[in-house]
């Protein structure tokens, strides 16, 4: 008979391993990260914080809003512009980091070592030992190292980052032009809307009253039913057109408010909501060739591409430098508390030469890539130049067309006003009916609105013309960043624009960082 004896110690050891494994799995499962959506309180707090930050620290509108003040507010508070300002700040910070990385590495080390047994070694007879170090030791050192190859490549990278910072500045200039154009267009549309809305309410009320009387006549069967229904149809179509135009006018004020980063329901009055007869007509005093040449010199897209070409050229140089062996210098000061050391303090220095041979095989491909990027940048710049030339010519044509359209709509509006006055006088003499008088008044109202909208289009097309040549909207020096000062500066530039004069883009030097606009983050880059 064979008895099987259980190996309790081995079984216990095996189960202990299983238990440890299960405990480890449970611990890792407990440490797993699961998605945690925002709570209602956190979401509400985020919304409240965003609403508070959207409109904080903004100067209030205290009077009728001029075009200069609207542009100044848009440039100072518009979120798109502020975003580009922050991108520029980040680019300048990256340039500072690239410059700091050119410095040598200075590393300080300090550590403690302790062991429970002495560091002993056998002597030659293997019968005796000797101690070579203390059980408790503190070592410290200060080492300076510098790699020539890394410095050369880092220097080129710093130049690339400097050009990238200039590209960000040019992109900001482009955003400034877009903000100014949008604000200029929205301002004149809002001025036309504010002027028209005052006249729309009486006209709408008159049409609704006539419509109510016509419906009463149809119900009471007064007069010819077909004539009454036709008259009612004309009134309904007129009412629909007036309501549609009224809705578009309200949207124009909302668009202007959003560009200035104020709440769309804010109550403000547009100063230009008066007759445009007193406003000067823009004058274009430059030839097409002069404008094209100015655009090729000043447009931010072309200047950015020129900086990008320099970046690509630096990349080609880096591909060549990477094939050179690297030379590393290092020097240091050392100290130890080990009593078994004869010298507890000492200096050391080293000179190492390293060469990554794989760079010799990578270099042809890297150089071909760099040359392709240079060629691509040059072709892209030529394509952009052609696009810029076409944009300048199209902007000229659109301005000329908008100017002629405004002059024509102005004459039409003048004739419609005379017709309305004549028809109203005839209605007073009971020679014309109410339907004809309402139709004449509505046509005069819409003609005046079309004239104001044509004037807004003319102003917008004139602004786009200066944006197409890359003209800067600010003078060289701005004393402070208040709305009044910015509006005054913008007003001077717009007055020059109306006479066909403009400033070339300002090259911002290092010393300009102390200017009034550069002291605060939001309006810093409007210079």
pLDDT, average across residues 206-228: 69
Least Cα distance to 194 among 268, 280, 281, 277 occurs for 268
Give the pLDDT confidence of 289-302 residue by residue, as tens digits: 888 888 898 888 89
**Total Cβ atoms within 10 A of residue 494:** 18
According to DSSP, residue 325 is labeled P
DSSP β-bridge partners for residue 112: 138
Give the pLDDT confidence of 427-472 residue by residue, as tens digits: 666 666 777 777 788 888 888 888 888 888 888 888 888 888 888 7
Task: Identify the weakest region by mean pLDDT among 332-336, 372-376, 390-394, 403-407.
Answer: 372-376
The pTM (predicted TM-score) of the whole model is 0.70
Rounded Cα–Cα distance for residues 81 and 527 (Å): 13
> For the chain, what's the residue count?
527
Mean pLDDT across the chain, nearest whole number?
Answer: 77
pLDDT of residue 4: 46
Residue 220 has pLDDT above 80, yes or no: no
Least Cα distance to 249 among 439, 66, 414, 456 occurs for 456
DSSP β-bridge partners for residue 350: 330
Token digits of residue 327: 């030379």
pLDDT of residue 15: 65
pLDDT of residue 386: 92
Burial pattern 20-38, b for ≥16 Cβ within 10 A else e, equals eeeeeeeeeeeeeeeeeee
Do 214 and 438 touch, CB atoms closer than 8 A? Answer: no
Q: Reduced to 3 states, what is the DSSP secondary structure of residue 122? A: strand
Residue 508 has pLDDT above 60, yes or no: no
DSSP β-bridge partners for residue 141: 109, 334
Q: How confident is the model at residue 273 (pLDDT cuts 50, 70, 90)?
A: low
Rounded Cα–Cα distance for residues 162 and 92 (Å): 8
Q: Percent of the chain, pLDDT > 70?
A: 79
User: Hunting for tokens 């910015």 — which residue is that?
Assistant: 486
According to DSSP, residue 443 is labeled H
Rounded Cα–Cα distance for residues 495 and 492 (Å): 5
How many degrees, rounded to 5, is the angle at CA 170 between CA 257 and CA 304? 140
């Amino acid at each position: 008979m064979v008895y099987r004896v259980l190996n309790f110690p081995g079984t216990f050891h095996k189960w202990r391993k299983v238990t440890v494994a299960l405990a480890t799995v449970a611990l890792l499962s407990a440490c797993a990260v699961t998605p945690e959506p925002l709570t209602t309180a956190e979401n509400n707090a985020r919304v409240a914080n965003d609403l508070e930050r959207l409109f904080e620290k903004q100067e209030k509108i205290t009077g009728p809003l001029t075009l200069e003040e609207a542009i100044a507010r848009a440039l100072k508070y518009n979120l798109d512009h502020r975003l580009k300002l922050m991108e520029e700040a980040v680019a300048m910070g990256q340039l500072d980091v690239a410059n700091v990385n050119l410095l040598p590495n200075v590393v300080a080390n300090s550590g403690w070592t302790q062991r429970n047994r002495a560091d002993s070694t056998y002597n030659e007879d293997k019968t005796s030992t000797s101690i070579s170090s203390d059980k408790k030791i503190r070592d410290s050192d200060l080492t300076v190292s510098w790699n020539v190859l890394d410095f050369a490549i880092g220097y080129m990278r710093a130049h690339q980052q400097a050009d990238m910072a200039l590209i960000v500045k040019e992109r900001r200039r482009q955003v400034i032009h877009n903000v100014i154009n949008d604000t200029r267009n929205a301002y004149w549309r809002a001025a036309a809307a504010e002027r028209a809305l005052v006249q729309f309410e009486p006209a709408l009320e008159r049409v609704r009253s006539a419509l109510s009387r016509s419906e009463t006549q149809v119900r009471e069967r007064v007069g010819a039913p077909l004539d009454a229904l036709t008259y009612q149809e004309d009134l309904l179509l007129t009412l629909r057109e007036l309501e549609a135009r009224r809705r578009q006018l309200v949207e124009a004020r909302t668009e202007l408010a959003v560009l200035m980063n104020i709440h769309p329901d804010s109550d403000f009055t547009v100063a230009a909501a008066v007759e445009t007869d007193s406003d000067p007509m823009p004058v274009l005093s430059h030839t097409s060739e002069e404008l094209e040449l100015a655009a090729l010199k000043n447009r931010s897209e072309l200047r950015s591409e020129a900086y990008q070409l320099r970046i690509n050229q630096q990349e080609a140089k880096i591909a060549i430098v990477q094939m050179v062996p690297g030379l590393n210098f290092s020097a240091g000061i050392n100290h130890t508390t080990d009593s078994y050391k004869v010298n507890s303090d000492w200096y050391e220095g080293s000179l190492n030469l390293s060469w990554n041979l794989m760079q010799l095989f990578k270099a042809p491909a890297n150089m071909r890539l760099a040359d392709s990027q240079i060629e691509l940048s040059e072709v892209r710049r030529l394509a952009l130049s052609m696009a810029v030339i076409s944009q300048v010519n199209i902007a000229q044509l659109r301005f000329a067309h908008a100017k002629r359209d405004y002059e024509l709509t102005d004459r039409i509006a003048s004739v419609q006003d005379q017709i309305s006055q004549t028809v109203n006088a005839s209605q007073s003499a009971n020679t014309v009916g109410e339907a004809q008088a309402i139709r004449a008044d509505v046509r005069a109202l819409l003609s005046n609105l079309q004239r104001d909208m044509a004037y807004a289009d003319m102003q917008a097309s004139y602004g786009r013309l200066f944006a197409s040549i890359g003209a800067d909207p600010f003078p060289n020096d701005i004393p402070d960043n208040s709305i009044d000062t910015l509006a005054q500066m913008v007003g001077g530039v717009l007055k020059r624009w109306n006479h066909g004069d403009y400033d070339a883009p300002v090259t911002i030097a290092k010393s300009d960082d102390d200017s009034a606009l550069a002291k605060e983050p939001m309006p810093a880059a409007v210079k």
